[in-house]
Structure 1
Amino acid sequence: MIPSCLNLQLTPLFPSPFLSVNRLSLLPSSTFPAFAAKSRRLAFAATKAPSISTMAAEQENAGNLKQKLAKLFQLSLEATVPGEPDIEPLVAACTAKFGDYQCNNAMGLWSKIKGRPGIEFRGPPAVGQAIMKNLPQSEMIESCSVAGPGFVNVVLSKNWMAKNIQKMLVDGIETWAPKLSIKRAVVDFSSPNIAKEMHVGHLRSTIIGDTLASMLEFSNVEVLRRNHVGDWGTQFGMLIEFLFEKFPNFEDVNETAIGDLQAFYKESKQRFDVDAEFKDRAQKAVVRLQSGEQMYRKAWAQICEISRREFDQVYQRLGVHLEEKGESFYNPYIPGVIEALTNQGLVEESKGARVIFIEGINIPLIVVKSDGGYNYASTDMTALWYRLTEEKAEWIIYVTDVGQQQHFDMFFKAAKRAGWLPADDRQYPKASHVGFGLVLGEDGKRFRTRSTEVVRLADLLDEAKTRSKAALIERGKAAEWTEEELEQTAEAVGYGAVKYADLKNNRLTNYTFDFDQMLNDKGNTAVYLLYAHARICSIIRKSGKDTGELKKTGKIVLDHADERALGLHLLQFAEVVEEACTNLLPNVLCEYLYNLSENYTRFYSNCQVVGSAEETSRLLLCEATAVVMRKCFFLLGIKPVYKI
């Protein structure tokens, strides 16, 4: 829904960045009554979605154990304290000696109801006993007990667990996908600047954003993968004039002619800094570009296309898909959005600039510079407006370094003042900043080359593949495999190692880039996990059995303690993905994947598979583990390997 303060004439879905601002017409100020902003806020609040966990509980979810148990405990709590509002079941996995899951409502509930007339409970343990007694019968629960101050411990039925794992094998891992409460999200990630090469600083945004997008897509959310590239601004006057100077027939220029685009940028910047006459021409070129002069448009488009092709080469290697919608896309909309905000009384004059003051922050958000130009805040406010009103996104996620936290905090608060976003961050639509720390070198400083240059991402990937290939050759694979197999495995392992080393860390922390550690085949690394998956595939191949047939005729049994522990961990996949989505933390999924491989190792060490009386059941458990591992790899952007 377009805010009532803006009357946008219809424009193409992908308008030209040079679209005339006259396409955005404003209604007269008399159409903006004082209650306009309030009514928009109420409209957003009225259509707010419930929390992700609540919505998931309302829908049948074949794979989410925690939500299934929460639905049962919700019924129990309603029976235990009839009429008590807003009691959300507090269900969590617990340590094995107590059970599989635990409901922890008794203490909190007791603090709310003690002393009330008619309440007969004599403390949290009694409340816990009542919650257990009122729990509906379910085939998924084998037994319950109450411990300590009313904790209700649940042991799941191993037969139910086995049946659900087998059902996943037949129906597919998608039946274990979380069901989130939103339908459409924007994930804004990577976002390099045109004419500048992608470097290691773009690595985190690209792979964290890709993983978040993949997890949301797996959870049945339509994700708009946005590459908000820096393709507009004063630097283009400098680049265009330099292009004209070096290549008078610039329309025929390609990557080969320009050579190193990064070097081209540096040369033009050097001229701009030392040559006053060139600087003057460059500044005038910006005006000509922004006014839509044809020759300058063509030069701008040529530079963008050359740069874009370089980006695409890196994205292809990383297996990352994005849709570019850069800063230039939103430029035509900025005047109308700023005017609408002004009519709401949000934009004020300050020291020649036009700003929005944010409560609790000393500096204002500048939306129009003192020279009349626009900046990041102008573009970001407009992009947020567009994503909410035109693209109908319910969740807009920005993946950038933590250094930009204040900027996002300020413009999110400005959007709340405008009524675009609800005041309560738990309601939808909402915007979230996914901050991440720095990539460090062994010296503890920002990761750079020996010549103090920022490390190019393409060079980093080359090195990862080279080292991975050398390790495979050392293991004797060159004699066993074709050159194509060697190349593909080296890429999968090398690129996967780089990605996993980043994603396994909490994104808010810095981490040290260390190839030796990344490519270690022991410990919590992608190499170890990929090899573990390949070993599972090898075991299944050596059995000579067709797992497709076994799924139809065989039966999983979880009688051994290590079989049961592995089965339980497999069944927790859906709730882990949901947690990683809700909190925007890919490391949660990495931890799950590593623990899955550890559970499998214990199972395989203590439970003979091939040749045992339980061979069929255990082969199916191997297959289920491999299926879940492959889905984890897919969500993390890592290609699995099937032999090693």
Structure 2
Amino acid sequence: MSTAQDGGLVLITDVVNQVVDTLNDSFDGHYTHSDAMVTPASNLKFGDYQCNAAMKLAKPLKMKPRDVASILVTELNAKMAGEFEELEIAGPGFINMKLQRSYLERAVQTMAADSERLGIPKSPNPKKIVVDFSSPNIAKEMHVGHLRSTIIGDTLANLLTFKGHSVLRLNHVGDWGTQFGMLVEHLKDEFPAALTGDENVDLGNLVILYKAAKKRFDDDDDFKVRAREGVVRLQSGDEESLAAWRCLCATSRKEYAKIYDLLSIENLEERGESFYNDMLKGVVEDLEEQGLAKKSEGAMAVFLDGYANKDGTPLPLLVKKSDGGFNYATTDLAAITQRTQQEKADRVLYVTDSGQAQHFKMVFEAAKLAGMLNDGVSLEHVPFGLVQGEDGKKFATRSGDTVKLMDLLQESIRIATNDVGGREVEGWQDGQELPEEFKRTAKIVGISAVKYADLSMNRESNYKFSYGRMLSLQGNTAPYMLYARARICSIVKKASGLEGVAEGSMIWPEPAPVLLGEETEIELARQLAKFGDVLYDVEEELYPNRLCDYLFETSQKFSAFYESCSVIKAETEELKASRLTLAVTTAKVLTKGLGLLGIEVVDRL
């Protein structure tokens, strides 16, 4: 190990692997990196890490587990001297590992000196990673269901970029298909200016337009025929139809941009279903030539082993409809081909709801069978659960409509504005305009509350949406996290004589040698030193809530430290500088961690 905080788990695992590689050649190629079996200790009494490799390696090495553990301990002590206290072999061969106090002191000082990366190096094996997230539909408003995909995807993209990977953020919008025949034909009647090629034509409220077109489609048989014929014209490249379609897309794009701006979503490249349209025919032909796609009731489908309908009949993965049109699966297969063969992606993440799990499982399997993947490419569905109302039912308005995402965000800002105004502005009343400084704070708190409430949950779980809970200053919430950091800023300003520094212009003092004596100091330092472990875990497993849990625990450990260890009135100047460095490092960890979650911080709250 070193004081670069790329995660003790990674470094210890590498050392264990090196040791095992030298022990014996009896693995015959079956030994894998995971055989190191290094994990965070389940209980602090066992240390910081546990290594269970001896248990797994004993049989192939034809040795007793404790004998294997003894060899590992000897080598670990030699290679990682000065970083662990005496390693302990427990039970049949578990190795308990506890970081030395001197290591923690050096680690915190290194982190404090590096505001940008906190001593965390980039991945030694950078990959090209595609993150497919958000994915709204043209001519429809973004709703609460798009919230989870957007902020989970953004967080993962942020973290993977920080770790040094080349990340392509893709917005796979629904901008093609049968509904566009209906919309385009309606535009021809109601907004003929949309056919001129001018994408700035005011189409008014797209939701109202969509509902009107859908009503005509349902009620008017002649219009229904026109709409179906319109699909053919659109897909065949009719210029008038394409012009109307582009106008629809441009109008929708402007509306999405308002939400992305509010959520601070950046560098999201739109690449909708239409992008892959010219590839679909080739995908189906390739599947047919390989004997994977077969005719079924006039359609073309891939039948995969192990997938069946409720009645036991084979479940088809439709790639071509009986009318000659294509399906979502066809587009997704074309996208896989493009992303892996042209973009050269090593890892592709699909951030969508859990209800699409089977679809993606079948698509990924079909892609592998068809040879669409380069060696080593990983396709991963990143599923998430539903957002529910406080009653545990579908999250909806009182009238039963789906909650619009913009309305949800604005309501959170409104509540935060009332709270900030009531606390910070004397005589302020609901509805009054806030001074700019507090208006900015209210917006950050309101948006952060929504984001953090979502990200702090295990993404695969459903969760109940509650403004009261997510905007609370108590518990694992964004306001609590923002307040914890702002409190540290206040402490640092007082201790450094910088109380007059303007909001947003925080100046961190230079790091000093860290001297750990009190138990709460040691515990805080130990927590800070494991930041790299947490980022590595999220990088691999893709659960943002683990980062949230870490940040919350870090804030709590800082509170315990501050309550028992005075910073400003420390016994000596050296101890004051040390504790100030601990406070600064904590603030920097919170700043970086919240930033990876897409959350802006404030110096005062």
SS in 1 for 2:599: coil
1:461 is the counterpart of 2:409: yes
Are the counterparts in 2 of residues 93 and 101 from structure 1 also a CA contact under 8 Å? yes
Alignment of 1:496-575 (within 5 A): 496-545=448-497, 550-551=509-510, 554-575=512-533
The residue number in structure 2 matching 1:135 is: 76
1:374 is the counterpart of 2:333: no
Q: In structure 2, which of residues 235, 239, 245 is the aligned counterpart of residue 290 of structure 1? A: 235
1:200 is the counterpart of 2:144: yes
Residue deviations 1:395-450, cap 9 Å, x none?
1110111111111011101011012237xxxx720111111111001221110000
Change (3 A) 1:303 1:256: closer
> Which amino acid is 2:240 matched to?
M
The residue number in structure 2 matching 1:317 is: 262
- Partner Cα distance (1:135, 1:465) in 2: 53
The residue number in structure 1 matching 2:503 is: none
1:145 is the counterpart of 2:104: no
Change (3 A) 1:168 1:476: closer
SS in 2 for 1:304: helix
Q: In structure 2, which of residues 549, 555, 559 is the aligned counterpart of residue 597 of structure 1? A: 555
- Partner Cα distance (2:147, 2:137) in 1: 14
- Partner Cα distance (1:593, 1:636) in 2: 11
1:222 is the counterpart of 2:174: no
- Partner Cα distance (1:620, 1:636) in 2: 24
- Give the TM-score taking structure 1 as reference length: 0.85
> Which amino acid is 1:258 matched to?
L
- Partner Cα distance (1:442, 1:303) in 2: 35
Percent sequence identity over aligned pairs: 43
Residue 258 of structure 1: how far off its partner (Å)? 2.9
- Partner Cα distance (2:359, 2:14) in 1: 40
Are the counterparts in 2 of residues 143 and 156 from structure 1 also a CA contact under 8 Å? no
Change (3 A) 1:479 1:621: farther
1:188 is the counterpart of 2:132: yes
Residue 634 of structure 1: how far off its partner (Å)? 0.9
Residue 640 of structure 1: how far off its partner (Å)? 0.9
The residue number in structure 2 matching 1:491 is: 443
Residue 243 of structure 1: how far off its partner (Å)? 1.4
1:238 is the counterpart of 2:182: yes
Q: Which runs of no fewer than 5 residues in structure 1 stay unpaired?
A: 1-56
Alignment of 1:35-50 (within 5 A): none
The residue number in structure 1 matching 2:502 is: none
Q: In structure 1, which of residues 621, 637, 641 is the aligned counterpart of residue 598 of structure 2? A: 637
Residue deviations 1:79-129, cap 9 Å, x none?
66675562632222212222222222232233444xx4xx5x4xx344433
Are the counterparts in 1 of residues 199 and 250 from structure 2 also a CA contact under 8 Å? no
Q: Which runs of no fewer than 5 residues in structure 2 stay unpaired?
A: 308-313, 499-505
Residue 314 of structure 1: how far off its partner (Å)? 0.3
Residue deviations 1:269-291, cap 9 Å, x none?
00110011111121222111111
Q: In structure 2, which of residues 217, 226, 230 is the aligned counterpart of residue 272 of structure 1? A: 217
1:626 is the counterpart of 2:592: no
- Partner Cα distance (2:16, 2:347) in 1: 30
Residue 467 of structure 1: how far off its partner (Å)? 0.4
Residue 141 of structure 1: how far off its partner (Å)? 1.9
Alignment of 1:43-442 (within 5 A): 62-78=5-21, 86=31, 88-94=35-41, 95-113=43-61, 116=62, 119=63, 121=64, 124-137=65-78, 138-174=81-117, 175-177=119-121, 179=123, 181-250=125-194, 251=196, 257-321=202-266, 322-361=268-307, 362-421=314-373, 428-442=376-390
SS in 2 for 1:135: helix
SS in 2 for 1:444: coil
- Partner Cα distance (2:404, 2:346) in 1: 35
- Partner Cα distance (2:180, 2:26) in 1: 65
Residue 310 of structure 1: how far off its partner (Å)? 0.1
1:577 is the counterpart of 2:538: no
Residue deviations 1:117-171, cap 9 Å, x none?
xx5x4xx344433432333422212322222222222221222222122123223
> Which amino acid is 1:282 matched to?
A
Are the counterparts in 2 of residues 478 and 486 from structure 1 also a CA contact under 8 Å? no
SS in 2 for 1:197: coil
Change (3 A) 1:282 1:549: closer
Figure out how many residues of one structure are paired with residues of the other and give that number: 575
- Partner Cα distance (2:426, 2:287) in 1: 64
Are the counterparts in 2 of residues 472 and 478 from structure 1 also a CA contact under 8 Å? no
Residue 560 of structure 1: how far off its partner (Å)? 1.8
- Partner Cα distance (2:125, 2:427) in 1: 52
Are the counterparts in 2 of residues 504 and 590 from structure 1 also a CA contact under 8 Å? yes
- Partner Cα distance (1:198, 1:549) in 2: 40
SS in 2 for 1:349: strand
Are the counterparts in 2 of residues 80 and 131 from structure 1 also a CA contact under 8 Å? no
SS in 2 for 1:359: strand
Moved more, 284-293 or 585-594: 284-293
Are the counterparts in 2 of residues 182 and 394 from structure 1 also a CA contact under 8 Å? no
- Partner Cα distance (1:549, 1:453) in 2: 49
Are the counterparts in 2 of residues 208 and 586 from structure 1 also a CA contact under 8 Å? yes
SS in 1 for 2:536: helix
Residue 638 of structure 1: how far off its partner (Å)? 0.8
Change (3 A) 1:220 1:73: same
SS in 1 for 2:85: strand
Residue deviations 1:561-592, cap 9 Å, x none?
21111111111111111111211111111111
> Which amino acid is 1:411 matched to?
V
Are the counterparts in 2 of residues 228 and 327 from structure 1 also a CA contact under 8 Å? yes
Residue 62 of structure 1: how far off its partner (Å)? 4.5
Residue 387 of structure 1: how far off its partner (Å)? 0.4
Are the counterparts in 2 of residues 61 and 178 from structure 1 also a CA contact under 8 Å? no
- Partner Cα distance (1:533, 1:139) in 2: 32
- Partner Cα distance (2:426, 2:259) in 1: 27
Change (3 A) 1:516 1:171: closer
- Partner Cα distance (1:379, 1:90) in 2: 40
- Partner Cα distance (2:569, 2:398) in 1: 56
- Partner Cα distance (2:427, 2:203) in 1: 42
- Partner Cα distance (2:248, 2:434) in 1: 40
> Which amino acid is 2:600 matched to?
K
Change (3 A) 1:371 1:509: same
Are the counterparts in 2 of residues 63 and 571 from structure 1 also a CA contact under 8 Å? no
- Partner Cα distance (1:242, 1:296) in 2: 11
Change (3 A) 1:494 1:383: same
- Partner Cα distance (1:347, 1:217) in 2: 38
Change (3 A) 1:484 1:254: farther
Are the counterparts in 1 of residues 4 and 107 from structure 2 also a CA contact under 8 Å? no
- Partner Cα distance (2:24, 2:560) in 1: 43
SS in 2 for 1:143: coil
Residue 76 of structure 1: how far off its partner (Å)? 4.2
Are the counterparts in 2 of residues 580 and 588 from structure 1 also a CA contact under 8 Å? yes
